[in-house]
Amino acid sequence: SCSCTVVSKQPLASKMAGADSDDSLYPIAVLIDELRNEDVQLRLNSIKKLSTIALALGVERTRTELLPFLTDTIYDEDEVLLALAEQLGNFTMLVGGPEYVHCLLPPLESLATVEETVVRDKAVESLRKISHEHSPVDLEVHFEPLVKRLASGDWFTSRTSACGLFSVCYPRVSSTVKAEIRQHFRTLCSDDTPMVRRAAASKLGEFAKVLELEYVKSDIISLFTALASDEQDSVRLLAVEAGVSIATLLPQEDLEALVMPTLRQAAEDKSWRVRYMVADKFSDLQKAVGPEITKNDLVPAFQNLLKDCEAEVRAAAANKVKEFCENLPEDSRETIIMTHILPCVKELVSDTNQHVKSALASVIMGLSTILGKDNTIEHLLPLFLAQLKDECPEVRLNIISNLDCVNEVIGIRQLSQSLLPAIVELAEDAKWRVRLAIIEYMPLLAGQLGVEFFDEKLNSLCMAWLVDHVYAIREAATCNLMKLVEKFGAEWAQNTIVPKVLGMANDPNYLHRMTTLFCINALSEVCGQEITTKHMLPVVFKMSNDQVANVRFNVAKSLQKIGPVLDSNCLQTEVKPVLEKLASDQDMDVKYFAQEAISVLSLA
């Protein structure tokens, strides 16, 4: 047992606050009192400062006084207990290093049995962390008995916590103790309480990884089979995840007999949540079982999941279409996709559920690189075009945001006629987040479609966003202009964008006049000195007389931003007088920003 006995009978706090005590310990006494305070926030703060208390007490008093004090007073609000469980995981050096680390076990053991799940999980996380700091002897003398106590505890809370601790102590104990650990784990897998079986199922894969192969075959497989046919679907779905981990551990010849029957049954489980889990883990499963089983077993299973009656399952499977196709064995990849997968994909394009269509749209473009140019034009292009016309904006957006895959294979021209209406519609969508997303793809689209197409078809959209009623859109539109100039060059900017931006300086709406300034800030650097000085600066100067103070102080901010682009003569003769005039403005904010600009540009 632990050598943490309470040496002092007098309460720690009062003893330390005694008149003759060392002053340097006084704040510690305050912290200890805070641990007893009625205000939760105070207790929480003192727990977060626990390492300070421990440092001041020194390792011995931390072991003999602080830890027993904490172990005895563990009846508190969950957030205080959560903070305590986390702190104790970093306490090894504060109790005197690895040889004393077992002193941390009693408080963590009681935290691992409380009712609140997050506290237990954090205690288990800290126990796992400090288990590595135990020597093999201490692990058997102190840590493993704790795991056994938790595993045979009366409350399900302690038994669920035990499940997370088997795998960390198993590799470093003697074979007798290993046998005991395996027995405890077996018992918990058939516990009466579903919560415990769930915990065991969720740790089955992790436990299997540290077991010797003979025991994986003799013990783990039977546990896996039992959990995968548990009456509770919440247990069965966790067993699926474990099955994927177990499959990676077994030699190929054992998979067919030991794991596949159970996984096949899971893919057709009566509960959609279990089928969903199979779909969600499909790519991992495919890598684990290899090409032969994939061809014979997984292809038909995947087809069924893509046609599942439950939309959530179809969406999860649709998400995996590209990965599944990429991982197919090369010699038969194209045949499998064209014969088995593509017909299902075609049906999903017109699915009744928009999450399914959206999931498919986010990956379908990736098939073009796998299938090559001719197949893409003949089979995939019609699907992309149908999706670009879908009534759901998410679907159209997912297609547009993945255009680069297709561009590499067939060039974007093939799509441009259908792309345009889709882009325009998204650009004017009622939901501002949809508008925002399309703006963010604009530089990429512009680069792929080329400057002529852009000028003719998309330029006006980019300008319209600058006067959107949502600030986030105006801001993104400004940033977008800068990226476009980086792509198409300063000369293009001077002929196309700059005149339109500067025209907004006369807009009756002061928000639009301010947008001109934001655009100038963004464009000055990419357009360079000449365009900035010749075309943009005069407009900024003119706006320094604006009747709205917000515009005037943004003029000061703009001059500060574009100052570094200008030459020193221009700064002294033109910028300085304007800033000085603004620095004596009657508005406080205008004054402040003008003075800041003068000092940043060293014009004082």
Q: Which residues contact 159 (CB under 8 A, 6 or more apart)?
A: 150, 151, 152, 153, 188, 191, 193, 196, 199
HEC-encoded secondary structure of 361-405? HHHHHHHHHHHHHHHHHHHHHHHHHHHHCCCCHHHHHHHHHCHHH
Of 91, 110, 133, the one marking the end of a domain is 133
CA distance 162 to 185: 9
CA torsion sign for 301, 303, 306, 310 is negative
> What is the domain range of residue 575?
489-604
What does the CA dihedral 353, 357, 359, 363 come to, rounded to 10 degrees?
160
Burial 118-132 (b: 16+ CB within 10 A, else e): ebbbbbbebbeebbe
Give yes or no for residue 183 having a pLDDT over 70: yes
Mean pLDDT of 582-602: 92
Give tens-digit pLDDT for 352-372. Answer: 999 999 999 989 988 888 988
Q: What's the angle, vertex CA 67, arms to CA 65 and CA 73, rounded to 5?
A: 100
Q: How far is CA 1 from the centre of its chain?
A: 42
Give yes or no for residue 438 having a pLDDT over 90: no
Q: How far is CA 180 from the centre of its chain?
A: 39
**Which amino acid appears at position 177 of this protein?**
V
CB 583 within 8 A of CB 559: no
Q: Which of 75-79, 381-385, 397-401, 466-470 has the lowest mean pLDDT?
A: 75-79
Q: What is the mean pLDDT of the chain?
A: 86
Most confident of 71-75, 346-350, 446-450: 346-350
CB 239 within 8 A of CB 224: yes
Give tens-digit pLDDT for 280-315. Answer: 999 998 988 888 888 888 899 999 999 999 999 999
Q: Which residues contact 3 (CB under 8 A, 6 or more apart)?
A: 63, 103
Of 133, 154, 170, the one marking the end of a domain is 133
Q: Which residues contact 286 (CB under 8 A, 6 or more apart)?
A: 294, 298, 324, 327
pLDDT band with cut points at 50, 70 and 90 for residue 12: very low
CA distance 285 to 324: 10
Task: Record the tokens describing residue 520, joined without a space.
Answer: 């100038």
Q: Residue 19: what pLDDT?
A: 38
User: Rounded to the nearest 5°, which phi and psi values hold at 569?
Assistant: -60, -45
**Which amino acid appears at position 168 of this protein?**
V
418 found inside a domain:
no
Q: Which residues contact 70 (CB under 8 A, 6 or more apart)?
A: 84, 107
Q: Residue 27: what pLDDT?
A: 55
11 found inside a domain:
yes
CA distance 360 to 322: 9
Give tens-digit pLDDT for 36-70. Answer: 777 888 788 878 888 888 888 888 888 887 888 87
CA distance 350 to 44: 54
CA distance 587 to 577: 18
Share of the chain above pLDDT 90, in %: 36
Mean pLDDT of 226-249: 91
As a whole number of angstroms, the longest Cα–Cα distance in the chain is 91
251 found inside a domain:
no
CB 95 within 8 A of CB 130: no
Q: Which residues contact 199 (CB under 8 A, 6 or more apart)?
A: 159, 160, 161, 163, 164, 188
What CATH number does the domain containing 520 carry?
1.25.10.10
CA distance 189 to 201: 7
Q: Residue 43: what pLDDT?
A: 80
Give tens-digit pLDDT for 108-142. Answer: 998 999 888 999 999 999 999 988 888 888 888 89
3-class state of residue 586 by DSSP: coil
20 found inside a domain:
yes
440 found inside a domain:
no
Q: Residue 31: what pLDDT?
A: 65
91 found inside a domain:
yes
Q: Residue 295: what pLDDT?
A: 84
**Which amino acid appears at position 361 of this protein?**
A
Task: Record the tokens describing residue 299, joined without a space.
Answer: 């292809």
Give tens-digit pLDDT for 241-283. Answer: 999 889 988 888 888 888 888 988 999 999 999 999 999 999 9
Q: Which residues contact 100 (CB under 8 A, 6 or more apart)?
A: 59, 63
CA torsion sign for 440, 442, 445, 446 is negative
CA distance 545 to 565: 23
pLDDT band with cut points at 50, 70 and 90 for residue 24: low
Number of domains in the chain: 2
Full-prediction pTM beyond 0.85? no
87 found inside a domain:
yes
CA distance 107 to 138: 17
Give yes or no for residue 5 having a pLDDT over 90: no
Give yes or no for residue 225 having a pLDDT over 70: yes
Of 118, 133, 148, the one marking the end of a domain is 133
Q: Residue 139: what pLDDT?
A: 86
Length of the chain as a residue count? 604
Between helix 50-61 and helix 40-48 the angle, nearest 10°, is 60
CA distance 505 to 558: 14
Give yes or no for residue 396 having a pLDDT over 80: yes
Q: Residue 75: what pLDDT?
A: 65
446 found inside a domain:
no
Q: Which of 41-55, 348-362, 459-473, 494-508 has the lowest mean pLDDT?
A: 41-55
CB 24 within 8 A of CB 56: yes
CA distance 241 to 205: 7
Give yes or no for residue 472 having a pLDDT over 80: yes
Q: Which of 147-151, 168-172, 440-444 has the lowest mean pLDDT?
A: 440-444
